[in-house]
């Protein structure tokens, strides 16, 4: 059985080259040994998951790593997060609210939405994620079933952004528009577009999504627990890594 230092070093050493199975196994071993999930995230002496992804970002900045290396490293950390997230998410008595999240019909992008989900859960929301390519009918059925305070629509293509309006019209037609706040987001979406589409809120990233969701529900920012902060820090580093990937891809596309 490895000791704490070996686990933290292993998490660091295996995340950098993106060895997803080893990272997941080590995370599970750490959990089984009773290690604090925050330890595995922040590490010690520069080891652990967050320092590893920071190092990946630094290697990218130095031109030693490219998009594929960064992507597999981020995926390895995401695998660890799938195990750590339930341990870090606020286990309050009652969720602060329910939010239905989805990527609109015709759109398969979900990395950004999933980061928002993680952050929302960390802040105490119950998140019902309907996945990608979600039809307005499926959205409506979920709103009727779960009675959420908020529904969040993600779109990443200019061709699928008009689905915001279609979803909102579907809620209106069912007489449910006034029962739920609508938030929208995704790389090409702007505050102005969100307003025009008739949404109640827009946010450019995962932490802003949480702030906006709370503001829409009139929830005051309470003191953030250490666990929520750790989850937020982990999402922030994943977010920054994915944004770098997005920017690099966009730069390549604009040259071709
Ligand atoms: C990864 C990626 C893919 C992956 C998606 C994998 C997945 N599971 O998500 C794959 C390879 C499948 C893909 C496919 C395609 N893609 Co693509 N893709 C990207 C890329 C490189 C990164 C997107 C990403 O994950 N970003 C990182 C995350 C963290 O950021 P984010 O998505 O913006 O999310 C944040 C915020 O937007 C916000 N947010 C997100 N959702 C929500 C929801 C709410 C409610 C709120 C409040 C906030 C919020 O918070 C998130 C976290 O901070 C972008 C490039 C870019 N510059 O964005 C292109 C990009 C989005 N893709 C593009 C295109 C064209 C396509 C394809 C059509 C390519 C093709 N010809 O096949 C297909 C379309 C498939 C489909 N029908 O959806 C274009 C879109 C152009 C446009 N404006 O329409 C982009 C911009 C690339 C480009 N410059 O050309 N893609």
Q: Atom of ligand 1 at shortest distance to CA of 184? A: 45
Indicate whether residue 169 lines ligand 1 (CB < 6 A). Answer: no
Say if pTM beats, i.e. exceeds, 0.85. yes
The alpha carbon of 246 and the centre of ligand 1 are apart by a number of angstroms equal to 8
CATH value of 4-90+225-255 in 3.30.70.360, 2.40.50.220, 1.10.1240.10, 1.20.210.10: 1.10.1240.10
The CATH 3.40.50.280 domain(s) of the chain lie at 97-216
Of 238, 240, 191, nearest in space to 77 by CA = 238
The CATH 1.10.1240.10 domain(s) of the chain lie at 4-90+225-255
Q: Which tens digits make up the pLDDT trace of 165-218?
A: 999 999 999 999 999 999 999 999 999 999 999 999 999 999 899 999 999 999
What's CA 140's distance to the chain center, in Å?
Answer: 23
User: What number of other Cβ atoms are within 10 A of residue 72's Cβ?
Assistant: 16
Which one is predicted more confidently, 232 or 18? 18
Indicate whether residue 213 lines ligand 1 (CB < 6 A). Answer: no
> How far is 87 from 31, CA to CA, in rounded Å?
9
| CATH fold for domain 97-216 | Rossmann fold (3.40.50)
> How far is 203 from 240, CA to CA, in rounded Å?
16
> How far is 56 from 90, CA to CA, in rounded Å?
29
């Amino acid at each position: 059985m490895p000791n704490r230092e070996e686990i933290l070093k292993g998490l660091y050493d295996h995340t950098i080259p993106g060895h997803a199975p080893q990272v997941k196994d080590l995370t599970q071993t750490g959990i089984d040994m009773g290690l604090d999930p925050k330890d595995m995230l922040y590490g010690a002496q520069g080891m652990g998951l967050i320092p590893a992804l920071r190092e990946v970002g630094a290697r990218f900045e130095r031109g030693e790593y490219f998009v594929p290396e960064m992507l597999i490293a981020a995926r390895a950390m995401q695998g660890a997060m799938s195990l750590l997230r339930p341990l870090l998410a606020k286990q309050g008595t009652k969720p602060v609210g329910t939010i239905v999240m989805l990527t609109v019909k015709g759109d398969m992008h979900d990395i950004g939405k999933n980061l928002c989900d993680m952050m929302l859960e960390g802040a105490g929301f119950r998140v019902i994620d309907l996945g990608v390519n979600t039809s307005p009918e499926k959205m409506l059925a979920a709103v009727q079933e779960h009675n959420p305070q908020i529904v969040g629509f993600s779109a990443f293509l200019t061709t699928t952004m008009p689905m915001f309006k279609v979803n909102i019209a579907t809620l209106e037609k069912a007489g449910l528009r006034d029962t739920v706040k609508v938030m929208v987001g995704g790389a090409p979406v702007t505050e102005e577009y969100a307003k025009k589409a008739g949404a109640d809120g827009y946010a450019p990233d995962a932490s802003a999504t949480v702030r906006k969701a709370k503001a829409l529900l009139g929830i005051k920012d309470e003191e953030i627990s250490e666990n929520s902060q750790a989850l937020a820090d982990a999402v922030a580093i994943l977010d920054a890594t994915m944004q770098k990937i997005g920017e690099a891809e966009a730069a390549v596309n604009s040259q071709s």
